[in-house]
Amino acid sequence: EAGVVQSPRYKIIEKKQPVAFWCNPISGHNTLYWYRQNLGQGPELLIRYENEEAVDDSQLPKDRFSAERLKGVDSTLKIQPAELGDSAVYLCASSFSYEQYFGPGTRLTVT
Amino acid sequence: GEDVEQSLFLSVREGDSSVINCTYTDSSSTYLYWYKQEPGAGLQLLTYIFSNMDMKQDQRLTVLLNKKDKHLSLRIADTQTGDSAIYFCAESERSGGGADGLTFGKGTHLIIQP
């Protein structure tokens, strides 16, 4: 069974540029999560989807971050415009019940 | 608010047992997890325990939960060099059809001495 797929794996952009991350969850997993992991820290939840519905986006900085999960499968997380402090690893996870499986992450560097 | 605390480093000799500890504050935590993260990689789910359990064993891994003290531990028997990684403790509640997002500790760096 394929795991959670994320792309790109690495992204370097200049501040004020837009950036997007893509996630394909494990087949059949209706819950999808986006986390951000800063250096030396544990991941922090940004948004959780149940199928197409964002059921918890309280930690998503809505002035510059947006996310969508069309058709309840793939998801895209966007930052526009990016700031220096957005440099981090962005992790996607999916679950069917209580076990959350993570993708390899996208390492974003904002210069 | 929710908080998960872990010590930052643990050093053990190869072949010894490693015990990684974690404390949490949220009394409504339903699920407690241990994840492993190797350099440049995502998080690998190692094991989990429900809050109505006090122990779970899976091959070399033993999880102990003291719900009264809100203390969780992960014991790795016969520690090998391949166990060198960062270990994250995490907790979650369950709402609706799925589990809430996880609240993670900062991670414990497990260092293996030859």
C-alpha to C-alpha distance for A61 and B34, rounded to whole angstroms: 28
Shortest alpha-carbon distance between residue B43 and chain A (Å): 6
Residue found by looking up tokens 């519905």 in the block: A53
Q: Which residue in A4, A96, A99 is closest to B48 by CB distance?
A: A99
Q: Is B64 exposed, middle or buried, given 0-12, 13-18 or 19+ CB atoms closer than 10 A?
A: middle
Q: What is the pLDDT of residue B93?
A: 78
Q: Report the length, in residues, of chain A.
A: 111
> Digits of tens for pLDDT over chain B (114 positions)?
568 999 999 999 999 999 999 999 887 777 899 999 998 888 999 999 988 889 999 999 999 999 899 999 999 999 999 999 999 999 987 654 557 899 999 999 999 998
Q: What is the pLDDT of residue B61?
A: 97
Q: What is the pLDDT of residue A49?
A: 95
* Closest residue, chain B, to A33 (C-alpha): B101
Shortest alpha-carbon distance between residue B101 and chain A (Å): 6
Count chain A–chain B contacts defined by CB atoms under 8 A.
69
Contact assessment for residue A89 and residue A106, using Cβ atoms and an 8 Å cutoff: yes
What residues contact residue A10 under an 8 Å CB cut-off, 6+ apart?
A106, A107, A109
Q: What is the pLDDT of residue A97?
A: 84
Q: Which residues of B touch A55 (CB under 8 A)?
A: 96
C-alpha to C-alpha distance for B114 and B104, rounded to whole angstroms: 30
Q: Which residues of chain A have pLDDT under 70?
A: 1
Report CA torsion sign: B101, A25, A55, A45: positive
Shortest alpha-carbon distance between residue B95 and chain A (Å): 10
C-alpha to C-alpha distance for B73 and B8, rounded to whole angstroms: 14
* Closest residue, chain A, to B107 (C-alpha): A42
Q: What is the pLDDT of residue A44?
A: 96
Closest CA to B47 of A99, A42, A34: A99
C-alpha to C-alpha distance for A4 and B5, rounded to whole angstroms: 28
